Amino acid sequence: MFTGIVTDMGQIVELEQRGDLKARIKTNYDTDTIDIGASIACDGVCLTVVALGDDWFEVEISAETVSVTNLGRNQWHIGKRVNLERALRLGDELGGHIVSGHVDGVAELIAMRDEGDSTRMTFQAPADLARFIAPKGSVTLNGTSLTVNEVDANTFGINLVPHTKQVTTWGQSKVGDPINLEIDTLARYVARLAEYQNTTS
């Protein structure tokens, strides 16, 4: 489990397609504190560490994961920066919201504009996921826990403060980017409960 609070910006330094896709990611984390088999969220995708070096870790990415994330849109390449978060430990502060690291689909950044020092971004969500997104609710976008400002049909908006843009990859975003989207687990269960009640009433 994760919180959607990004704690490092890694950089992809190697990619190899050997059966599954393997990626080596440079990090500022102390790799002596990372175990083989540990989970790290990389742009919101929960991936398992399979190898370690002094300032890098490697992960393997299945074809299934590639197909349902922005990796399938050729977004990962040498030099790309990725948002990183290590798995939540018992007793850690829950600064964002509960995040599984299981991406539900890919949204598209369709508009952005500056509002003072902040940036307002608008996203197009897949139709089957849009119903789970509500104003003032939470979403995870590229591994970042964010609050939804407004919703209009399949589009929704969020506001990024300067700090978030500085400590994540959001400062490098551009219109047209495909974005890993994980909907709020609570929203999913509320919707399922409502569906169940409708079918039994």
| Per-residue pLDDT tens digits for 143-171 | 999 999 999 999 999 999 999 999 999 99
We find that the CATH architecture of domain 105-200 is: Beta Barrel (2.40)
pTM for this model (two decimals): 0.91
Assigned fold of 8-86? Elongation Factor Tu (Ef-tu); domain 3 (2.40.30)
In the structure, what pLDDT confidence band is assigned to residue 89 with cuts at 50, 70 and 90?
confident
CA atoms within a 13 Å half-sphere pointing along the CA-CB vector of 125: 27
Q: What is the dihedral of CA 36, 83, 21, 180, to 10 degrees?
A: 130
Domain residue extents for the chain = 8-86, 105-200
